[in-house]
Amino acid sequence: MISALDLPPLKAVFLDRDGVLNIDHGYVSDPAKLDWIDGAREAVAAMTRAGLKVLVVTNQSGIGRGYFDEPAMDRFHAAMQAQLDALGGRIDAFYHSPFHETAIIEAYRVADHPDRKPNPGMILRGLADWNLTPLETVIIGDRDIDVEAGARAGVPGYLFPGGDLRAFVSQVLGERVAALR
């Protein structure tokens, strides 16, 4: 068994969005409906202060299903950034997958797209974009597909059971990042 002390320094955390950062109301894209998970803003601010890159990887099939468009998602992400900024936090990159096998928008109708979790495409892009190795990162998600996507990319994963994200991050990453304790 590898202990946290045997791993390289942690440089980045991949986070799922809906259910980890914000309450999953189902295909949420309206900034007025942005409701944060308890402790999520504080967790991102703590990771930012610790010098970690915070990278969001999110399936957004609502785009392919025609519920909202990418500019609406971008506005939602901008609202997240603005609210995080007030606490000194930031998300360094958002990766999204609008693909789904039953999408009504033809360009997004793809069965088993490499980016759609549990496939690792978004994570692999994040690793490449930020010049990271898998063991310098972790993924935190609220569903098995999030952790599976991490495993397929060689990234250790943690399943967030709900509750306070700041407390969870401190519990699972505190041994690797003293500033998160």
- Which positions are catalytic? 16, 18
Tell me how far apart the alpha carbons of residues 163 and 96 are, in angstroms, rounded to a whole number. 24
Cβ burial of 54 (10 Å; 0-12, 13-18, 19+) is buried
Tell me how far apart the alpha carbons of residues 15 and 166 are, in angstroms, rounded to a whole number. 13
Determine if residue 38 is labeled as part of a ligand binding site.
no
| Residue 169 per-residue DSSP state | H
Determine if residue 112 is labeled as part of a ligand binding site.
no
The residue type at 59: N
Determine if residue 18 is labeled as part of a ligand binding site.
yes
Q: Pick out the residues of the known binding site.
A: 16, 18, 142
Q: Pick out the residues of the known binding site for Mg(2+).
A: 16, 18, 142
